[in-house]
Every structure is written in structure tokens, then in C-alpha cells.
Chains A and B, each alone.
Chain A
Amino acid sequence: MSQMTIVQAINDALRTEMRRDPTVLVMGEDVGVNGGVFRVTENLIKEFGSDRSMDTPLAESGIVGTAIGMALYGLKPVAEIQFDGFLPPAFDHIVSHAARIRWRTRGRYHVPLVIRAPYSGGIRSPEHHAESPEAYYVHTPGLKVVIPSNPYDAKGLLIAAIRDPDPVIYLEPKRLYRAFRADVPEEDYVVPIGTARIAREGSDVTLIAWGAMMPVALSTAEKMASQNTSVEVIDLRTLVPLDSETVLESVKKTGRVVILHEAPKTCGFGSELAAVVNDKAFEHLKAPVVRVTGPDTTIPLARLEDYYLPDVGRCVKAIQRVLSY
């Protein structure tokens, strides 16, 4: 067991799978010689060469289109899109092809493709480098959407994503890439896709979050504990397929729900969670489900992003609101 950051854990996951399975390869802008803009693919080119660690042109649509072809013909590409805000140029290939080929061929073909993209704000970056676009992919049938929040899950979920027979959008919380270290086993292991994790047990309120918002959720729970409120924190880890069982069990216990995400509110994943809770746990609710989210604007540039991103203060207020309802 060694101590790793999220970036190191992802790098380790890639290396572990590339050693185990010769059909796994990485591709993307600067992932080869340079080792990736965040160093996620560092040293892979040394060990596996340029055929399995491929530098591509700055052409996201081409990266995903090529990767789909590779996946159909027996490889397991892990394509990197350098930033969240550069997923839209590849949107057509993702939603019109990757997500549909299994459906289109009635199961005769699969697309075992992983698209890795760093997402989330908070690193003082320019436009197109701080977005949380998960809802677009959650709404698209045929895709899985995975978002880890810690090094252990990052490695286990990425290995599970690579072994999955279908396309997985794997969003990495870039703000947490080097935020902390945790124990990560050196051997290979998987964290199954579709399972949430109770990050902290509690009985008064259920706080649901994922990815970059997890530290905010946990700090909020800590703060509320000092005010004698017991907050149960759920780290979803996978948005599609959703582990609704874990969510509903918690909601039935607490009767109060706060959902936390960075993305804009309207039609964000918080809306689906609220709808699922309404549908399946309506009679257990003691207060309306409250969403703490980014406002319905594009995420602002560096100077204003702290006002945009949900923080502990806003989260505490929301919890007080559902408690006092």
C-alpha cells in the first residue's frame, strides 16, 4: 500500500491495466511525450511506447472518433480530453455514435471506450477549463458516467471503467488532483461502477455529492456535528447507473435531503436526484429536497469563481433550511 494523490492513482490505474492487457492504450493531446497536461499519463510512453501512448492533434472530435473505431476493432482506448470545456467539439461522436453503436447493432458491437476528462472549477483557470458538464452525458442513453472523489476510488473505478464493455465518461475532479494523499493498493482492484459510498453516517439529513464537491460536503457535515446535527454524506461515485438503493435507504432514514453540485442548477443532475426521491420516497420526506448548485450562468473567470462554486457556508444554510422546515 502506498500513499498517492488522485493524479498518481489514475496514473497507477492506467499502468496497471496497460501491463495486464495489451489492448489497453492511452491517446490524447500531449498524453505521450509530455505525459499529459496534469501528468496523468506520465512515463507511460517510456514503458509502453508511442503505439500505446499516442499523442494526437488538437482535435477532440478526431480523438473520440478514432477511439470509437479502435474500440470496435478490439482495442480498449482510454482517450483523454484535456479539459471539460473541450468535450463539446467531441459531443457528436460521443452521443451520436459511441453511445449508440451497441443499440444500433442490437448488441452485436460494443464500444469499450473510456473518455477521461478533468472537470470542475476552483483552479483559477481561463474559460472552458472549469466546467461541470456531467448532466449532458447523464441524459444521453448508452453512456456510463463516473466521477471519483479520492485516490482509492479513482484507481478502482478507472480500472472498472476500462474493463466495462460500454463507453464510460470518466470525469476527474481536477481541483482535487493533488489536494491530498490516501492509501492506494499497488495491485489491481476494482470499485464496481454503479455503487455509491456512505462517506459519513448520520441520521438527521442526507447530503448527496460527488467528485470535487466531496470535501465541501464532508466539511459541512463536520461543522454541523458541532451544532449537534448528524449529517449522512453520500458520495455517488457513479451517476449512471445511479445507485438509487443507497440514496433511498438514506432518505427513508433521515427524511431530509440536500443535493450538492457545481454544475448549473436547471436540468443538472440534482434535478434527477430530486425527482427520484420524489418518486420513490415521497411519503418519507419531512421537507422539500434542497439543491445547492452553481447558478444558471457559465462559470465565471478566475476572480469570481469563489462566488459561483458552492461552499460550506451555502451548504450549512441549506441544511438549516431543511431542518427548520
Chain B
Amino acid sequence: MPQMTLIQAINDALKTEMRRDPTVIVMGEDVGVNGGVFRATESLYKEFGQDRSIDTPLAESGIVGCAIGMAINGLKPVAEIQFDGFLPPAFDQIVSHAARLCWRSRGRFHVPLVIRVPYGGGIRALEHHSEAPEAYYVHTPGLKVVIPSTPYDAKGLLIAAIRDPDPVIFFEPKRLYRAFRQEVPEGDYTVPLGKANVIREGTDVTVLSWGTMVRVCLQAIEQLESVSVELLDLRTLAPLDIEMIVNSVTKTGRVVIVQEAPRTCSVSSELTALINERTLLQLQAPVARVTGYDTHMPYLSREQYYLPDARRVKKGIEKVLSF
């Protein structure tokens, strides 16, 4: 089994699906000849040609709008938005159309569209290149939101997303693109959407996280030898695997949620509300949230103060343990 980075696994997922299904295409800024700004679509252009590996103008609204039309008419486009901060120009097409066509047509039309977006900070980038905007899309009915944290999951989730009949926003943790390698099967396989993953079993505290922050949580946990931490990688934020979360919280009674995005009205808020709703009597401490701050992501010289790190995660865990 080959060892792949997360970016190689995504490239492999795209190649696998494009070979299997001639209706799958990739499109976006520089995804063709150039192979993508992060090389996610490298050499697809050579194998599948410019009709299935389409270079688009710098026009996010146009990319998503065209992709919706393609999806309704029988193709399975995988559109790339080059960075998280350039999703807002496509916001109207995503929330007012992609997310609604199934609802609007009472199920007569589906939009089998995947929008791939590198997200998150930590790569010393400019403004609009380091954001974690998942909450906007989780709040929008009709969208699925997927965020892998490992090469294996990235390939399996992306294949599942492409085969899904509805629009999926697929956020890729850009800081982990080349951070480590993992064994990834060569054939096609899926990791089902809507299923969380127990990264590490434990009994004292449940830590919930996704994407880049899963690695940060692992670092923190390794430094806390005396505490038995159960770490869940949510993998899919919409739909949420609430059953697995509730089971874990029922066992441990203490929860820390770790995310990069600003705190207010985020996915961590929803998770806290759901845990409060379903397991209040099992809780031995208030749910703690370790998050980005309610400001925009700062420029590179300050981003390490913004992003949750192992130290802050440990503090969160100590807080719920000492309550």
C-alpha cells in the first residue's frame, strides 16, 4: 500500500473517480495546465484533457454557477475554490441555488456537486487565505460539510462526496496537505459521510475536533499522560454523527471542543447546545470551547496567537477536569 500525503490522496481520489465515471470533471482556477495552486489536480489534465480538467477565469461565482448547471444536466463537477477566503463571492450561488434546487423542485432535481476548498491557517498566508468558514455552510440547509484530517479519510470522503447526490462542501486542511504520510489503498473505497471517527479511546474527557485541529489535539493529549482522553474526529459536520458524540459524552461526562474558527455562533456552539440538550444530566462540567477569537484571522506574524495550540487545548482539558 503506498504512503501518501493528504494532497496526494486527494489527487488520487479525483483520478480514481474520473477513471471510473466519465461524468466526473474538475474545474477551477489553475486546476488544468498548472495542476492547481497546491497541486491537488496535478496531471489530471494530461490524462483526461481540457474538457474534464477545466481552467476557469478568476470568478468564483461563475465557477459555482456553471458547476450547478453541469450538475443538474448530468455531470458530476468537482469545483475548486482556490482559498477559503474566496468562497464569499460564490456564496449566493451556493446558498441560494446549489443548496436549494432539490428542495425547490421537490426532489425532482439533484445537484451532485462537490466544492473543494483549502481552509484554515498556519501556513503564513495573506488575508483571505487562512479562514475557517465552515459554520456558514453548516447553518445552510441542503448542504453537506466534510473536513478530513488524514490522507486515508481525505480519499475515502472525497470519493463518497463525489458519489453523493447532493452538494458537498469539502474543506481541505491546507496546513496538513504535506504534513505527514499515511498508507492509502490504491483502489477505490469510500469513507461514509456522516460518520465520526474515534482517533483515540479514553474515559476521562471527550475532545471533539475536525480538520487541522485534530493534529493539535493529538499533540496536547500526548503531553497529558495521566489523563485518559477520548478524541473524536468529526470528519463530517453536516450531517453530524450526534450518536457517537452522545455515546462518548455519556461515558466521560466532560467535553472540550477544539476549532480554528471564531467562537460566536460556530459549529462549537451547535455542538455545545446539542450536548446540553441530550446529556445534561451526564455532564460533570460545562462544555469547554477552545477556538479562534471573535476577530478576523490575523496576518502571519500573529497567527500563532490566534490558532488554538496544544497549550490551549491542555488548558481546556484541565479546566473541565478541575470543575
A residues lining the B interface (CB < 8 Å): 85, 88-89, 91-92, 95-96, 99-100, 103-104, 127-128, 135-136, 138-139, 141-142, 240, 242, 263-264, 266-272, 274-275, 277-279, 282, 285, 287-291, 296-298
Contacts and interface: CB of A to CB of B under 8 A. Distances in A.
Given A96-B88, A275-B272, 4 more contacts: A242-B264, A278-B273, A278-B286, A297-B103
Contacts of A88: 91-92, 95-96
Nearest to B261: A139
Interface string B287-309: 10100011110000000000000
Interface residues of B, number: 45
Nearest to A270: B273
A291 B103 CA distance: 24
Interface of B: 85, 88-89, 91-92, 95-96, 99-100, 103-104, 127-128, 135-136, 138-142, 238, 261-262, 264-270, 272-273, 276-278, 280, 283, 285-287, 289, 293-296
List 3 tightest A-B contacts by C-beta distance, closest first.
A274-B273, A267-B139, A275-B272
Nearest to A289: B276
Nearest to B286: A282
A288 B270 CA distance: 14
A267 B265 contact: yes
B276 A139 contact: no
A91 B91 contact: yes
Contacts of B91: 88, 91-92
Contacts of A91: 88, 91-92
Nearest to B104: A127
A139 B266 contact: yes
A277 B275 CA distance: 13
Contacts of B267: 267
B151 to A, nearest CB: 28
A288 B277 contact: yes
Contact of B264 (A127, A139, A278): A139
Contacts of A138: 264-265
Contacts of A264: 139-141
B238 to A, nearest CB: 7
A298 B273 contact: no
A91 B104 CA distance: 22
B296 A92 contact: no
A96 B130 CA distance: 13
